[in-house]
Structures are given as C-alpha cells and as structure tokens.
Structure 1
Amino acid sequence: MTPNNGVSAADDGYVFNPNDIVRDTGDAYIVRHGDHYHYIPKSSLNNPPSHSNTEEVGSSSSSVLSNPSLHVHHEEEDGHGFDANRIISEDSEGFVIPHGDHNHYIKVQIKGYEAALKNKIPSLQSNYQPVTFDEKAVLAKVDQLLADSRSIYKDRLS
C-alpha cells in the first residue's frame, strides 16, 4: 500500500475511497473491495476522512493494530492452506495471517474456533522417502499375505 495524498493503492488494485468504508475501528478502516475486505490503518493515509457516512460497528480492541503498516484484507476464496501456527494477531472478530508480501484478515465465521486454535497440534512431519520398488515382489507378498490370512481364518469365513 502506498500512501499518496490520503489515497492508498493496494497490490490487488484497490484505491482507498471513503465511500467504501464499512467499519471504522478507531485506528483503521475496513473497506469493501469486491468479494473481500481490506484493513487500512488510518496512519497509512496522508489525509484520512474527517468523518464517514457509515455506521460504526463496534470498535473492537485489536492486536491487529500492533503493526500500523500492515495491509490486511480478507478474501472469500483464497486457495491457500491455513496454518494456525502462522497467525500474526487476532481480535474479537478474526485474525491476521501472512500471505506473500501482505497479510489477510480472516473474519471468523464459525463458533468454537478459539478452542480449536488453543488446542492446535503441531504440524506432523512424515518420514516418507520415495524409493524404487519391485512391483512383482510387492504383488507376490500381497498374494502370500492373502493366502496366509485365508488359511488362518478359514473357519471364520463362511
């Protein structure tokens, strides 16, 4: 986001317009841009609007504001995986995660996410190592195991 006479341009083409404001959090504006929202700190604007004709929807205290240079937006369909270990900050309505050279504000839409994040498990690491194998030997072993199991459980198979 690059401030320019109170107007900021985001990397996805959004240019700040006071008519787009849907919420004033006190230190920032949340503005609609297509199917997602941008979080624009007032400190990033050279000439922030003195008032807006939008209704202020609760000014939630937020750790999102801990870095006023954040350009944060929420996209409805991101296509990227979510990793709770990458959460930068959160407020009462959602959280911020990094994505490339910017951050996304993800509005929470399900109940119980706090418990899920609190009890998150670390990412599991696999010991899988790709190797070449002899397909005939593997199939022969499978056939042998099937024959052995049929012999062992022949009385139970009726």
Structure 2
Amino acid sequence: MKRVLSLVGVLLLALLVTGCGNSTSEEKVEKDTYVADIEGAQLEATFSHVGDNLRKVEQTMVYPMSYLGYEEGEKLDDATKKKLTEQVEAQYSEYKDGEGTSLETKFTDDGLELTMTVDLYKADASAISSLLGGGSTDPKNISYKETIADFESQGFKKKES
C-alpha cells in the first residue's frame, strides 16, 4: 500500500510542483488527457487549461489487486477495504471534501479505483499549500506546460481523442 501512496504522491507533487502560468481570464478552456501504465496501475489525468495556465486536474487511477499486494481475483473483506480506503483518505486528506477538491475511492472488479480532482481556481490556497512546490504559493499561477513535462517524464503519454 505504501508503494501505491508513494506513486500517487509523486504524481500529485508533479502536478503542483511548478508555478509559472499566466493569469488569463477570457480565453477558451482546453482539455488534454494523458495516460500511463505504471507497474500495472492504469493512470489517467485530464488537464483543463487556458494557454499555459493550469485550471483543473482530474485524475483516475486504477490499482490492480496485485499492485496492492493481493492476488488477482482475490475478494477483500469489508474490513480490509475500509482499512485501505482510510489509508488513502488519510494520505490525501487535503482532497477529501475540500473547497475545489475531491477524493473518491471505490473497489471494482479490477482493483482499487481512486479519483481525485483539484480545481485550482476554487481550491483554498492555504488548504492545498502543502501541495504547491517549486516556490509557488498561488494555485491560480501553475504552468500547464511544466506540469505536463513532469508527467511525461514519469511515463505519461497524451491520449489521442
């Protein structure tokens, strides 16, 4: 489980590690989706941006049972599911029911599915300040291009529509 949390932590840190975007207001919001398969985990991130200014990130991560240390097809009891869910929610408490953020976990036939959303224009800067690296303190000033470069360096590829 620590491996799962470490990977998610690295991805989220990469998401918010840069802070060099432009503050534009009247331009069209564009969306790009990037995907990766990292050690069997299926990861997808959709970035909403205006030019180089990142606005919102939606991530879905599906971790197979083997990634979590269980055998494929193994059915987990409710207590184990609850424990794994609590670990994820504790690790990413900034996202759970926060202003401009959300975190949802659910178990599927494929494994543990984790969905996280950060709306940088609605999020409380002080609540997500621990996620803003690279000297940035303004969630409305995050570089889309630098964020994408960080994701690509970790194996993400742009999904063709």
TM-score (norm 2): 0.23
Task: Write 1 or 2 for the structure with the bigger share of strand.
Answer: 2
TM-score (norm 1): 0.23
